[in-house]
Each structure stands twice: as structure tokens, then as C-alpha cells.
Chains A and B, each alone.
Chain A
Amino acid sequence: MKAKIAAFGEKDIMLIFKAIGIEVFPASKNLRLEEQLEKLIKEGYAVIFITENVALKASALIKKYMNKTLPSIVVIPGLGKKENFAVDLLRQAVVRAMGVDLFAENG
């Protein structure tokens, strides 16, 4: 199956994704971010790269699609401060699965 790839986030960061031939969708301020992301998912993008700042604002939606096989939403760090959004998500998933915080233990 052919997969479509999208990148979603701040316009500045999107440029670098554009250069490698990935379809980019700069986050526009007029529409709600969740709606924009949902639209991408509905259109059948299998891999969606999303910057951390945007991901934080659409976290409910990302959590919703976390346990579906597709799409794979990958949070990439943006400029500025790191919020560890993706690591937190992983940690939560692991804690729920095992009842032990494996991430904190080692790192």
C-alpha cells in the first residue's frame, strides 16, 4: 500500500520538510489546529510529522489516534524549549501497560 506523508506545524519548520518532498501543511492560525489535523487524518495520510508546539495544542486528538494502526503521528521537536511531549506519551502508555515507570527508572 502506498502511503502519504504529511508534515504539519509552524511555517518556518515546514520549509525543511518541503525540501525533501514531503507534503507540508503550515498550521494556520485562523482554523482550529485540531480540525486541521483531523482533516489530514481523514484524507488518509499514513505518517504525519507534527511539531511539538502544535502537538501540545491538539493533544486530545493525538491521543485518540495513538492506538489506531494508522496514522502514525510523530511528534518532532520544534524550535525553542523542549516539552518532552512524545516522551511523556510513551511513558504514559508504558505505565498503563506494565504498571511500572520503565522510562524514569533508566533515564
Chain B
Amino acid sequence: MLLNVNPTRMELLRIKKRLKIAQRGHKLLKDKQDELLRQLLSMIEEVKNLRTEIENKFQSILEGFMLAKAKMGPFQTEQELVSPVKEINVSITEKNIVSVKVPVFEKEVSGEMIPYGFLNTSGETDVSLIKFEKFLESLFSLAEKEKAVHLLANQIEETRRRVNALEYKLMPDLDETINFITMKLEETERSSIVRLMKVKDIVRKH
């Protein structure tokens, strides 16, 4: 679509400048998109495996825990677990992947996993809790990586839209307008020459 401008030399220069900037921006954004895609691709496989692993493991842990709970009675279990000794401190830092800010969790664990005495509790509870403790590490790394994948995917989509807008809308529009103005200028030039020749002819006849 033609831009709404006056066909003047000034305007032509201005639009040529705009086109140049658009081209540069397009190249940069394209590079950014490529890099983002590369990052995402390297991450996807990992996240997928981690996710499947966690789903399977967690379910088996949970089942173990439920059985243990059933053995001990729900009320008893709740009472034993009501004051946890273990403490998890997580600090967040931000990592910058191609100007996408991705959270990184660092956790500090202190205290024992099992908050109760051995007298009234069953061995199964211990086992499932200890399993769960080991499992935590991957749970946090999943939290981190899954977030990263979502953020990257979102950013890629956004960048792609921008690249496309430049490539298929702005740049062709500018091209067309430049063409239009050049033609128009040439046309006015020709018409003024013709006019001059005509005038000269008339002058000569007298």
C-alpha cells in the first residue's frame, strides 16, 4: 500500500532513510530470532525428558506415600508432619538469554528430612519422604527450565511477528512509495521540459 506522502525530493530522501533503518532492524531481528530458536531447540529435549521423568517418579512416590499414610492413619500422619524441621531457602537470580530474562533458582536446604520420631511411624513413610527429598532437585530444575522454555517461545513468537511486519509490510510499502515518488518526479521533469520546448516553439514562430 502506498504511503500517504507528498511526491517531493525531501520526502524521497526521508523515506529512503527510513527504508535503510528498516532493513537494518530487520536483519538484527532476524539474527535475534535465529539465536532464540537455537536456544529453545537446545532446551526442549532436556525439558521434555525431565518432565516425563518427574511425572513418572512423582507418581510412584506419591503412591508410596499414600500407602504409608493409609497404614498409619491420616490423622496420625498429619500430626507427625505438622512441624517440619527441614527448611528450604530459595534465592532467585535472573539469567539473560538474548535479552529474555529467565529466572534461576538456587536452593539451600537445611535440616533433616524426617521431622518425627521413629516410634509411631511406619518405615514406608520414611522411605517415601527420603525419595521425595532426592526428587526435589529435579523439581526445581524443572521449574526453572519450563519457565525458560515458555518465555523463550513467547519471545520468539513476538520477534517473528516483528520480523514479518517489517519484511512483508513496512519494507514493501516503503519500496513502493519510493518508486512512486521517483516516477512522479521524473514525470514532472519531463512535463516541464515539454512545456519549455513548447514555449520556445511559440517564441520562435513570432
A interface with B by C-beta (< 8 Å): 1-3, 5, 12-13, 15-16, 18-22, 46-47, 49, 66-67, 69-70, 72, 74, 76-79, 82, 86-87, 89-90, 93-94, 96-98, 102-103, 106-107
Given known A-B contacts A69-B94, A94-B149, A16 and B88 have beta carbons under 8 A apart: no
Judge whether B150 and A66 touch: CB under 8 Å. yes
Interface of B is mostly: helix
Q: What 5 A-B pairs have minimum CB-CB distances, sorted nearest first?
A: A97-B153, A93-B153, A97-B156, A72-B147, A3-B90
For the complex formed, measure the closest distance between the CB of A98 and the CB atoms of chain B, giving whole angstroms.
7
Q: Give the size range of B's interface with the partner.
A: 35 or more
Having A22-B88, A76-B139, A98-B37, one finds 11 other A-B pairs with CB under 8 Å, namely A1-B91, A3-B105, A16-B61, A16-B62, A19-B84, A19-B129, A69-B102, A74-B143, A102-B44, A103-B48, A107-B48
Whether B185 sits at the interface, judged by CB under 8 Å, is: no
A68 to B40, CA, bound (A): 17
Q: Which residues of A contact B44 (CB under 8 A)?
A: 94, 102-103
Judge whether A12 and B84 touch: CB under 8 Å. no
Judge whether B103 and A72 touch: CB under 8 Å. yes
Whether B30 sits at the interface, judged by CB under 8 Å, is: no
Judge whether A21 and B111 touch: CB under 8 Å. yes
Q: Which residues of A contact B82 (CB under 8 A)?
A: 18
